[in-house]
Every structure is written in structure tokens, then in C-alpha cells.
Structure 1
Amino acid sequence: MVRWLLSAIKGKYGFSHGFKGGGFSYEQRFSLVNVKLKWAKDGALDSVVAGERDLKAACILVSIISSVPRCCLPVYHLSRCRGQLGLPHDLKISTFMRRYPTVFDEFHLLDSGGTSVPWFRLTTDVLNLHHEELSLVQQYQGDTLDRLRKLLMLTKDRTLPLQTVDQLRWDMGLPYDYHHSLIPYFPELFILVRLPDDRVGVRLQSWDDNLAVSQLEKNAAFQQRNESIRDGTLAFPIGFTRGFGLKRKCIEWLEEWQRLPYTSPYSDASNLDPRTDVSEKRIVGVFHELLHLTILKKTERQNVSNLRKPLALPQKFTKVFERHPGIFYISKKSDTQTVVLREAYDRNQLMKKHPLADIRERYSRMMRKGLLDRSKGLYKQHTGASGTHDLLSNVGGRYNSGFKSEGESDNDLLSEYESDDETHTSH
């Protein structure tokens, strides 16, 4: 991947600007070229996304199963959590779990009607890894709290519905049960509130100026680009797929766009005209910062599509992903669109790894090994009824489930999806 930086260029900018009330006052004197750069496939970044769906689903299931005594659950119980997993609708959870015998061990029990019901428990290896993960989460709890606080500080009211935070939970490395295991233990930082639409939200109790510094500003300070910080013309790191052709007109447009004032995503931008390129640069800055708050510097596009109101963004705000393919790469792997921050990767390697990224890689290796071993016939499905009474006693005796087979649940925590397309104007 060719990596290059369009730095701020001195001279006449075509506009005047200055600091005023913590933001920029400016006057556009001309319109920049309205261009749309083409999308080009990036195999290296696609490989970063490939397999993410299964990894996320497996880790969520591990969290759910590990939270109950004996670390085992019947499949019908797991089906109630289907909406959180992001799996294809035509894929049964039991089928998915059987793919990864190094993670999930299947056994069958008889219900009160004598019907054999599949149960799943965690293997010893994955239990050990999960305990390591929990220890690491506790160790880096301060970092997790800071990133959640910064997420809320990006919003105009320092508030987000829990449903929206849930959609970003995996990417931000929040504990699975963060609303029970994290938020209540820091009342000086967070409070759960009832929103006008009757949903529950989390609100940040107070603003912290020390946290209200974007990663782009930190990088500029580290690189001692003090002049760019003073005049507000910070430029974003740009990189393109190897062989990506860029016309001269596009280069000139990018250079002009990079010289526009940079508005911190943590500052009040209500004075910006949403029809201007300065506003667009602010939107790019918001998502540049949001992706920096994630563990792997990426998230599914649908996860940010319902952030328009909380982030005070204009309609069609995610169009910036297409207009700036040198900053964001949109991967179309796994039947979805995933936005990846280019600068965070050297080909398919994360340049600065969060400790949780290593844990996830170990989960991924364990899952791949299970797939390979199963293809060699090293695993057999435990479907016999022998030992049933012993197993029942180990998990608390017989039960009356009321379920005869794996089914769907309407308890879909990810059902909210508010697009910023022009056809959806509910915002």
C-alpha cells in the first residue's frame, strides 16, 4: 500500500479563519472541485475484515455461556440472543457452534417430554482464554472508561441510548455486560437516564478538557507540527491501495481540502454551514476520532448510521466514507460494509495493537484450528443419551423448557438501524 501524507501548504488559502469561542469563524471565497474518488478493492484490508463476523458471534456466545453456573446452556436459550450475533438469518445457532468444536462442546439432554435437546458448554481451552480476557479487561479498565467517556463527549448532549452503545460495544472492547458490570460502579462518571422516546440511555456526568483532544491533534503535537495546530490546518494521513490512480484534478482537490480549517470533533460546530467543505472536514474528523476509539480501528457502517442526531451531523453524513477513500476503506466482506481507518494498518497488520487485539487473535486461531481438525475427522458429535441422568444432575436436574426446537426471538438488541439515506428522514 502506498502511503503518503498531504501536509498543510502555506500561502493563500482562499478563505479567512481565526479562533473564536473555541471554534473557527471563516468565509468561503470559492468552491472546491466537487469530485468523488472511485472505490478500489484492497485485498489486505479485506483480509482484516474476513472472519470478523464469526469471531464476534463466537466471543459473544462465550460471554453469555460463561456468565451462567456450570458454563453450559441449552440452544433454545442462546437463540434468544440471536439478534446480537449478526449471523445470517438462515444459519441456525446450533449449526454455527458445531463449526467450532475447539470452542463449544455439544451434548444432549432429555427435556420433561423425553425429547433430546442440544446443550453447549465451553471447552477448557476457551474457558482459560476467557479468564485471561477478563483479567486483561480489568487491568485496562481505565483505558476503557476513557474511551467510553470520549465517545459520549463526541455527542451534543453527552448522552447515547444503550442500544446505540451496544452496537459499538464489540468494536470498543466494552465488557459484554458493561451496563451492569461497569457503568453502575462509576456513578461519578456515568448515569443511566430515561430518554424522551422511553429508551434507557447513558449520560456522562461531567466534561473533561484533558480528554477533549483528538488523536489527530495528539499526533500533530507529537510530530511537533505546532504551526499547523496554531492555524488550525491539520491534515489527515492519506493512503491508497497499491496501483490506485489519482487524477491531477483529484490531487489538487485533496490538497485544497486538506488546507481547510480543522474543527475538533469535541468542539461546538453549530456555527458551520453543513453545505461547505469545512463542515465536511469536520465530519471526517468526527469519524476519524470515532474509529480511533475502537480496538481494531474499524466498525460496520450500519453501527454509525444512527448516530446522526447524537453527533449533530447533516443528512447523508456517511457519504464522506466514499468521498475520502484515502482515509477510510469500505470493505464489503461478510455481506456488510465495514469502515476501516487506513492509517491504522500496514497492509493487514494493525500498527498499534491494543492488548485485547491479541486476545481476539488467539480466539481466531483457536476457531481456525477447530475447523481444520474437524475436516480431518478428529471430532465426533456427542449425541448419545448415555450418562444423561449424570449430566442432568450436574446442571441442576431436569427442566421444563417449553421449547421443542431452536427458534427465533424478537428480542433483537440490534434491531434499531436508522439510515442516513435520503429515504429515511425520521431524524
Structure 2
Amino acid sequence: MGWRRFATAKLASLLSRNPNLDPSIFSGAASAAPSAPSAADVLPFLGCRQRKKLRKKLQSPRVRSIQPDAGRRLLHFEAIVHSDAQLRFITRTKSFLAGLPGHRLPLADAGKLHRELGFPRGRKVSHFAACHPLLLHLPRLPPDSKPYLAFTPLMDSLLEEERALMDAMEPQRVTTVRKLLMISAGRRIPLAKLHHCRLLFGLPDDFRDQVRKYPDFFRIAVDPDGRHVLELVEWDPALAVSALERDFVPDEARVRRTFKFTIPHGKSLPLEEDDERRLNSLTTLPLVSPYSNGLELKPWSLEAEKYRVGVIHEFLSLTLEKRAWIHHIVEFKEEFNLTKHTYQMLLKQPRAFYLAGTAMNWAVFLKDAYKDDGSLIEKDPQVVFNETFLRYACMTESERGEAIVEKRING
């Protein structure tokens, strides 16, 4: 971040003017390894104007953490969000170039497609491509020898592997879409919304064409607004079981602890911790199934809040990595009967969800799906492939030989 570079430079300037200043005051005496100073540590040493400018940056939604309590932040989840932001370019570029003939694009045109390729406007595409030498290169092709942004042979082989994987996982993806329709109001979702969130569920880019292969499950219609919507043909009671309901029998104690719907009481009713927990359990259970009809519930009732929390929990459990960005969840606001108080609702359920990222762009994690080190307990084959792909994306040119040998052994 820019403020980190500014803070580091300011600290170096202070130390050069005052050699007796102990640099450990910026990173904490208890820390064994030196770390970059935070902007808040440098504030006392700045002038009034610089301090005001830096404090304003710290309050920006681009920087301010979505977690209000710094002591409760889980660094492994924050690191996942940070990694996603760093690899946004290669992830979007893979999806975009894979749909073009020859998997290439004139470099002169690439700069105009910065949004589709996932990099900030005005930046050089060649710079971003150079960060991923094993997957992208800039060949000059005849007859005019103009440079192109194209996939490397290794990247082409990875695409073939992913295509074969998606074909093998197609029945599971069909089930996922059926369950999404079953938790949606009216049992219908606009196709554009599903296509926008396709990577969350491992759906192929041609998903909108693939659904026509399953007329017994899906029907495509046009709503009054002219949008193409995907409708559920027939309700399947066997699928109307949420992830929490499946886990209730083998691990009832964990499911009981997942959510917490408190009963407000005054100070005149002093309760010990055990008594308060038992009192809250009276309203926490029974839960409301996300497969029930949420339109029949009063919008601000306790049952309606249980329903909305359950829908988001089931939605996240259907994703590949058991997490989603908030804009993906808000995308289905109408279908899931969500309100404008979704953030406050999620914040009240810290046992079930963790919110990571900044106030402008944050993600929701399903905590029970992760180990203490931030790795998934169960990994979908597509997740395993994505991890391999991102490992290649982070390799340097000097590691090209090692990557090719590894690909031949695994392939």
C-alpha cells in the first residue's frame, strides 16, 4: 500500500536525523523479527498537515478493515483476501483469453480491455504479463510482427486439463445449480447473475448453453424485464437438506454452537454465563430451513433473520472455497430476500462467519469449513487445480524448467 511505503520512508528519515532513536518502538518490543511500521506508529512524528492527510487515508474505505475489532482479526483469512487481489489479473486474463480464437490478443488492444483483463486503467499490460512468465508471453506474429498477449504452451495444457476436469464434475455442478434455485424466491435466478458468479461454483464459461442439456431440471424463460431467467422444473425433496441439517446428527453440539440469536435483557436481570447461554439457546433453535418459503415470514421477525442467515450459510456451503465476496452475495439480494442490514446480521454471527478485507471490498468465510491454519477441510477437485494454477502463476522465469518437469510427471 502507498501509506506503507510512505511510513517506511518517513521512519528511515527520522532514524537518519536521530541515530539514538530505537526503531523497535515501531514494531513492538515483543516482536523478534523486524516488521514494516504501521501508519499509526508514524503519526506522532509528522507535521500537522501530513498527519491530517495520512489520517484521512487511514479512514478511507479502500484501507479501513471491515473487522471493527483488531484483536479478533484472523490473519490467515486476511491473507487469502490479499492473495486474491494480487492474482486478480491472471485469473481474469485466463477467463477472457480462453474465449478468444488462438487464445491471444493484440497488445495494443489489451490496454483498452483493462477491466476484462483485471488490471487498473493506465497500467502497462506488458508489466503484468511479465509477472507471470510461465503462463503468459508476448510473441510477435506475422505478417506485421506486432506483439500479442498470448498463453504459453504450459498454459494451454492447463486449460485442457481444466476442461477435462469440468466435464467430469458436470453432474455435481448441475446439483449445485438445482440447490441454488431451490433456495431462491420463486425458484428462479437470472442467467446473467449465475454467469457472473460462475467461478464461485466451478461452472464453465458456456454454462448458459450447457443448461439446455438438462430439460428435466431447468427451463429458460424471459421475465417481464426482458431478462433470461433459469427456472427449476421440478422440486426434489432429497436435495432440500441444508449443510447444517446434514451435520446435525453426527455433530449436534457443533451445529448448536454455530449461530447465536440473543435475547435482550436489562441489568435488573443478572445472568451468569451458563444461564445466558441456555436462555439464548431457546431462540437459536429450532433453525429455519433455507429451503422453506421466506416470503411467508414477517420481514423483521426472528424467524426471518434465522432464514436469511441460513440462506447465506447454505449459499457459502455450495461454493467451491466456502467463501464469497460481498458483491456476489448482494447480487442475489432479491432471490434470497436479503435486507440492507446484511453486514450487521453477519457481524452478529462470529461463530459461523468471518468477514475479511476492507470496507470497500470484503469477503465472507464459512468458518467451520476451514482448519485453524486457513486451509479448507475438504477440497473440491477444482480447488486443487486452482491452487496448482496459482502456484505456476507465482513462479519466476528461473523456475520454468522445474514447472515443466512437474507438469510432465503429474500429467
TM-score between the two structures when normalised by the length of structure 2: 0.69
Report matched runs for 1:272-287 at 5 Å: 272-287=297-312
Asked whether the 8 Å contact 2:185–2:294 carries over to 1, the reply is no
116-125 or 87-96: which moved more?
Answer: 87-96
Q: 2:245 aligns with which of 213, 217, 230?
A: 217
Structure-1 separation of matches of 2:214 and 2:110: 30
SS for the counterpart of 2:240 is: coil
1:268 corresponds in structure 2 to 293
How far did 1:195 drift?
2.1
Separation (CA, whole Å) in 1 of partners of 2:387 and 2:186: 36
Q: Which has more strand, going by share of residues?
A: 1
Greater relative contact order (Cα < 8 A, sep 6+): 1
Alpha-carbon separation, structure 2, partners of 1:61 and 1:267: 39
Q: 1:100 to 1:262 in 2, by over 3 A?
A: same
Taking a change above 3 Å as real, the CA distance of residues 356 and 308 of structure 1, as seen in their structure-2 partners, is: same
Q: CA RMSD in A?
A: 3.4
Aligned partner of 1:193 in structure 2 is 221
Mapped partners of 1:107, 1:254: distance in 2: 67
- Determine helix, strand or coil for the equivalent of 1:119: strand
Deviations along 1:289-308, one digit per CA (max 9) or x if unpaired, are: 00001000111101111322
Report if aligned partners of 1:305, 1:318 keep a CA contact under 8 Å in 2. no
CA-CA distance at 1:166 after TM superposition: 2.6
Alpha-carbon distance, 1:109 to partner? 4.9
Alignment of 1:159-198 (within 5 A): 159-180=188-209, 182-198=210-226
Determine the C-alpha separation between the residues in 1 that align with 2:117 and 2:348: 30
- For residues 324-363 of structure 1, give each alpha carbon's deviation from its aligned partner in whole angstroms, at most 9, with x where no partner exists: 2221111116962111111111121111111111101011
Specify the alignment match of 2:378 in structure 1.
352
Give yes or no for contact 2:96–2:117 (8 Å, CA) kept in 1: no
**Identity level (%):** 26
Does the alignment pair 1:366 with 2:357? no
Q: Does 1:237 align with 2:258?
A: yes
Asked if the contact 2:195–2:208 (Cα under 8 Å) also holds between the matched residues in 1, the reply is no
Unaligned runs of 5+ in 2: 1-66, 261-270, 401-411
Cα deviation, 1:399-427, whole Å, max 9, x if unaligned, reads xxxxxxxxxxxxxxxxxxxxxxxxxxxxx
| Secondary structure of 2:203 counterpart | coil
Please identify which structure carries the higher helix content.
2
Q: Compute the displacement of 1:71 (Å).
A: 2.7
Tell me the CA shift for residue 372 of structure 1. 7.7
Alignment of 1:5-404 (within 5 A): 38=69, 40-75=72-107, 82-84=114-116, 86-109=118-141, 117-180=146-209, 182-223=210-251, 225=252, 235=256, 237=258, 252=276, 256=280, 259-332=284-357, 336-346=361-371, 347-370=373-396
> 1:107·1:120 contact (CA, 8 Å) conserved in 2?
yes
Which range moves more in the overlay, 94-103 or 40-49? 94-103
Say which SS state the counterpart of residue 319 (structure 1) adopts: helix
Change (3 A) 1:79 1:278: farther
SS in 1 for 2:249: helix
- The change in CA–CA distance for 1:309 and 1:70 in structure 2 (over 3 A counts) is closer
Q: Distance in 2 between matches of 1:357 and 1:132?
A: 13
Give the SS at the match of 2:296. coil
Report Cα offsets for 1:346-403 as digits up to 9, x if no partner: 12111111111110101111011138869xxxxxxxxxxxxxxxxxxxxxxxxxxxxx
User: Alpha-carbon deviation of 1:90?
Assistant: 4.9
**Quick one: structure 1 residues 206 and 365, their matched pair in 2 at CA, closer, same or farther if it must change by over 3 Å?**
same
Q: C-alpha displacement at 1:179, in angstroms? A: 1.1
Distance 1:359 1:334 in 2: 30
- Secondary structure at the residue paired with 1:149? helix
Moved more, 281-290 or 330-339: 330-339
CA drift of 1:318 comes to 3.9
- 1:110 CA displacement: 7.5
